[in-house]
């Protein structure tokens, strides 16, 4: 047996409280393990029973995930006295091993060596990770404000480029999209099936992306004024759409008042320790901070890094978020460069914001395994970057079969507890990546990827324009203007209606939102993806030949399916048997 493949820690996604009465235990093993059993009981039960030693009672575990090199076994326990002590026995290859906290040993060795049991000390309801429930039912639409829509009654402004003109585009181009334009398009989003809008930064800056914020309390005049964001949030709520703002707290822009004071007064500035300044000659206007004179975002001198360890910096941004929640009425905050912000700051911010608005959604932009930030005291979820990687790899690597695709998806799910998986921010592209359509051979392939996105646990997000199959390989092309004249002329209706139908499948079928699926494989068609989620069946033909299928049940969505054949690039979603 491969003992090196066996692992468990009584923390993170290996051991966690699902609710105020249930504890989930997960054990990772190699593929040579065929059976796993947990032995558990209250750690003091032997004293209660006047028995000489603690033994534990057995409960066979279920296979939860097949990963590329590991298996993950799971069990859900309801400890009668809120405490757990436990160990595991793994069986396979003709042997049985005991898995303790301090060692893994063969069963016959157990009596000769000291062992320490795993423990879940106490199931405190206040410690149960409980993200906002509404998030799992939300379909987001990410908007880059400058490029989404310019309100029809907006006044001409000579600094704006002609809407949609992407001839010889430049990183600094401004097209004049604004908040009133977003508000005008709420009926369009509602018809599409959207229930959440995520806005890239909207506060004062000299860039089109606004990630170098000058004033966090002032709406950038290019986008409107404070009344425009309150009106947008109010109108969105009336339409049944939530609103999430982008918070850039890792760094600021050059004109931020605190940085300007430091530039003027140097070490005498009251704000000097709001930043990470390492040299007295930091005030130079060259492009990069690679010389280390001060820390900045990605060596960009125009984005000085904020010291979120500083209590005064924390107070400033906590008060700011409270203002956004109280006065704008927003429902969520996405934290840019969320992995570089102080844990203590996030804990303090979470505590105060949740006291003000318990159901506010706090989302971190982190591109890798983020369990450290997801214990219920910091972020509710993060942007699930492994997910678009798994989806993209399957369609890019035409040799990959459906079983390997399942394992890649399982890896994404295996990183976090179930209740976090249900609110992870899933997407196929953003303003920071190439548009998903550019990685597709056809619009049909894009529909396949969207079918996966919209039938997986997590809160799915579409980048603006995905519903019309917009393209753009890299910045600035991935941030082009929405072609409203062509949209209103009906040029994209056929594709948009299919996207809306896929979103409707998610909105109308609770099984699509749940964490869990069962893949069914066709050895004759290795790139036929078929998985079931209770009564929901999703089938995708990512192969090169048509596959005969009988639609057993109610057809909820079909593309490239007819006469009992699912053609290459086709999608079939059924409800029923």
Residues 223 and 258 placed together within one structural domain of the fold: no
CATH number for the domain spanning 532: value is: 2.60.40.1180
Helix (H) or strand (E) holding 261: helix 257-265
Residues 149 and 246 placed together within one structural domain of the fold: yes
Catalytic member of 14, 246, 336, 429: 336
CATH number for the domain spanning 191: value is: 3.20.20.80
Tens of pLDDT, residue by residue over 238-254, are 999 999 999 999 999 99
Whether 111 has a pLDDT exceeding 80, the answer reads no
Alpha carbon of 196 to those of 76, 87, 186, 193, 242: distances in Å?
Answer: 33, 43, 10, 10, 4
% residues pLDDT > 70 (the chain): 100
Pair type for strands 554-562 and 547-548 = unpaired
Confidence of residue 110 (pLDDT cuts 50, 70, 90): confident
Mean pLDDT of 517-525: 95
Which residues fall within 8 angstroms of residue 301, CB to CB, at 6 or more apart? 284, 285, 286, 287, 288, 289
Active site residue 552: no
Residues 263 and 347 placed together within one structural domain of the fold: no
Q: List, as one string, the DSSP characters of 68-133.
A: SS-EEEEEEE--TTS-EEEEEEEEETTEEEEE-SS-EEEGGGGGGS----EEE----GGGS----G
Whether 418 has a pLDDT exceeding 70, the answer reads yes
Confidence at residue 155, expressed as pLDDT on a 0 to 100 scale: 86
Residues 499 and 523 placed together within one structural domain of the fold: no
Alpha carbon of 92 to those of 2, 31, 35, 98, 108: distances in Å?
Answer: 10, 9, 7, 12, 15
Residues 322 and 393 placed together within one structural domain of the fold: yes
Cβ burial of 245 (10 Å; 0-12, 13-18, 19+) is: buried
CATH number for the domain spanning 32: value is: 2.60.40.10
Residues 140 and 116 placed together within one structural domain of the fold: no
Confidence of residue 552 (pLDDT cuts 50, 70, 90): confident
Q: Do 427 and 139 form a contact (C-beta atoms < 8 A)?
A: no
Tens of pLDDT, residue by residue over 299-336, are 999 999 999 999 999 999 999 999 999 999 999 999 99
User: CB-side exposure of 260: number of CA atoms within 13 Å?
Assistant: 8
Q: How many whole angstroms separate alpha carbon 543 and alpha carbon 405?
A: 13
Write out the two tokens for 181: 């334009």
Q: Which of 451, 499, 512, 446 is nearest to 192 (CA)?
A: 499
Would you give the DSSP letter of residue 378?
A: S
Alpha carbon of 111 to those of 51, 106, 108, 114, 541: distances in Å?
Answer: 18, 10, 7, 8, 54
Tens of pLDDT, residue by residue over 275-290, are 999 999 898 878 899 9
Residues 223 and 362 placed together within one structural domain of the fold: yes
- 537 DSSP β-pair partners: 532, 574
Residues 508 and 522 placed together within one structural domain of the fold: no
Q: What total of structural domains would you count in the chain?
A: 4
Confidence at residue 61, expressed as pLDDT on a 0 to 100 scale: 98
Residue 292: count other Cβ atoms within 10 Å of its Cβ.
Answer: 11
Residues 153 and 170 placed together within one structural domain of the fold: yes
Active site residue 365: yes
Q: How many whole angstroms separate alpha carbon 72 and alpha carbon 481?
A: 45
Confidence at residue 551, expressed as pLDDT on a 0 to 100 scale: 83
Q: Do 329 and 237 form a contact (C-beta atoms < 8 A)?
A: yes
Which residues fall within 8 angstroms of residue 316, CB to CB, at 6 or more apart? none
Mean pLDDT of 33-60: 94
Confidence of residue 577 (pLDDT cuts 50, 70, 90): low
Confidence at residue 109, expressed as pLDDT on a 0 to 100 scale: 80
Mean pLDDT of 397-421: 97
Would you give the DSSP letter of residue 327?
A: I
Helices 386-396 and 402-414: crossing angle, nearest 10°?
Answer: 170
Q: How many whole angstroms separate alpha carbon 74 and alpha carbon 362?
A: 28
Confidence of residue 114 (pLDDT cuts 50, 70, 90): confident
Helices 443-453 and 386-396: crossing angle, nearest 10°?
Answer: 140
Confidence of residue 156 (pLDDT cuts 50, 70, 90): confident
Give the residue numbers spanning the domain of 356. 133-250+310-513
User: 342-371: b or e for each residue (b if 16 or more CB lie within 10 Å)?
Assistant: beebbebbbebbbeebeebbbbbbbeeebe
C-alpha distance across the termini of the chain, in Å = 39
Residues 402 and 343 placed together within one structural domain of the fold: yes
Q: Which of 403, 360, 412, 347 is nearest to 385 (CA)?
A: 412
Q: Do 25 and 38 form a contact (C-beta atoms < 8 A)?
A: yes
Helices (H), 324-457: 343-356, 386-396, 402-414, 418-421, 443-453
Which residues fall within 8 angstroms of residue 175, CB to CB, at 6 or more apart? 146, 147, 150, 160, 161, 163, 164, 208, 481
Which residue among 513, 530, 560 closes a domain?
A: 513
User: 455-490: b or e for each residue (b if 16 or more CB lie within 10 Å)?
Assistant: bbbbbbbbbbbbbbbbebeeebebbbbbbbeebeee
Please state which of the ranges 11-15, 140-144, 283-287, 359-363 shows the lowest mean pLDDT.
283-287
Alpha carbon of 378 to those of 97, 315, 420, 464, 490: distances in Å?
Answer: 37, 16, 12, 28, 44
Residues 504 and 410 placed together within one structural domain of the fold: yes
Catalytic member of 146, 184, 365, 467: 365
Which residue among 460, 478, 513 closes a domain?
A: 513
Q: How many whole angstroms separate alpha carbon 546 and alpha carbon 542?
A: 10
Which residue among 307, 331, 355 closes a domain?
A: 307
Mean pLDDT of 398-403: 97
Q: What mean pLDDT value characterizes the chain?
A: 96
The torsion of the CA quartet 193, 195, 198, 202, rounded to 10 degrees, works out to 100
Mean pLDDT of 255-283: 96
* Greater model confidence, 107 or 467: 467
Residues 346 and 408 placed together within one structural domain of the fold: yes
Mean pLDDT of 161-179: 93
């Amino acid at each position: 047996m491969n003992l090196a493949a066996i692992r468990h820690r009584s923390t993170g996604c290996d051991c966690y409280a699902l609710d105020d009465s249930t504890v989930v235990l997960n054990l990772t093993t190699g593929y040579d393990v065929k059976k796993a059993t947990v032995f558990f009981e209250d750690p003091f039960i032997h004293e209660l029973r006047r028995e000489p030693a603690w033994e534990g009672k057995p409960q066979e575990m279920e296979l939860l995930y097949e990963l590329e090199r590991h298996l993950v076994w799971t069990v859900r326990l309801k400890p009668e006295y809120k405490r757990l002590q436990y160990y595991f026995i793994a069986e396979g290859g003709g042997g049985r091993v005991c898995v303790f906290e301090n060692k893994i040993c063969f069963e016959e060795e157990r009596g000769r060596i000291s062992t320490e049991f795993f423990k879940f000390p106490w199931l405190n309801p206040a410690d149960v990770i409980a993200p906002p429930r509404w998030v799992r039912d939300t379909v987001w639409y990410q908007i880059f404000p400058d490029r989404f829509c310019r309100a029809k009654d907006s006044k001409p402004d000579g600094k704006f480029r002609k809407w949609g003109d992407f001839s010889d585009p430049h990183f600094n181009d401004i097209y004049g999209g604004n908040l009133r334009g977003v508000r005008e398009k709420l009926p369009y989003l509602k018809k599409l099936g959207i229930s959440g809008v995520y806005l890239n930064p909207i506060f004062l800056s000299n860039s089109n992306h606004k990630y170098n914020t000058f004033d966090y309390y002032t709406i950038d005049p290019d986008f409107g004024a404070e009344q425009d964001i309150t009106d947008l949030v109010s109108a969105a709520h009336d339409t049944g759409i939530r609103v999430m703002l982008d918070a850039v707290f890792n760094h600021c822009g050059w004109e931020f008042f605190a940085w300007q004071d430091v530039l003027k007064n140097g070490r005498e500035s009251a704000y000097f320790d709001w930043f990470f300044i390492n040299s007295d000659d930091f005030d130079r206007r060259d492009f990069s901070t690679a010389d280390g004179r001060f820390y900045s975002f990605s060596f960009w001198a125009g984005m000085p890094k904020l010291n979120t360890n500083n209590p005064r910096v924390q107070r400033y941004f906590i008060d700011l978020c409270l203002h956004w929640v109280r006065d704008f009425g927003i429902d969520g905050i996405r934290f840019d460069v969320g992995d570089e912000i102080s844990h203590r700051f996030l804990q303090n911010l979470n505590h105060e914001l949740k006291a003000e608005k318990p159901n506010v959604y706090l989302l971190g932009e982190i591109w890798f395994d983020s369990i450290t930030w997801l214990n219920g005291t910091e972020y509710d979820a993060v942007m699930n970057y492994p997910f678009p990687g798994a989806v993209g790899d399957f369609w890019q690597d035409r040799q990959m079969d459906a079983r390997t695709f399942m394992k890649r998806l399982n890896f994404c799910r295996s990183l976090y507890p179930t209740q976090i998986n249900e609110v992870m921010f899933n997407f196929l592209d953003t303003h920071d990546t190439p548009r998903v359509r550019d990685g597709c051979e056809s619009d049909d392939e894009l529909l396949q990827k969207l079918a996966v996105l919209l039938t997986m646990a997590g809160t799915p997000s579409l980048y603006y324009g995905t519903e019309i199959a917009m393209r753009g390989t890299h910045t600035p092309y991935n941030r082009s203007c929405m072609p409203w004249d062509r949209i209103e002329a009906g040029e994209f209706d056929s594709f948009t209606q299919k996207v809306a139908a896929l979103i409707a499948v998610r909105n109308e079928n609770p099984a699509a939102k749940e964490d869990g699926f069962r893949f069914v494989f066709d050895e004759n068609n290795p790139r036929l993806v078929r998985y079931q989620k209770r009564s929901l069946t999703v089938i995708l033909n990512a192969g090169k030949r048509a596959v005969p299928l009988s639609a057993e049940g109610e057809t909820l969505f079909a593309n490239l399916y007819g006469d009992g054949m699912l053609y290459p690039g086709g999608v079939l979603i059924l409800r029923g048997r």
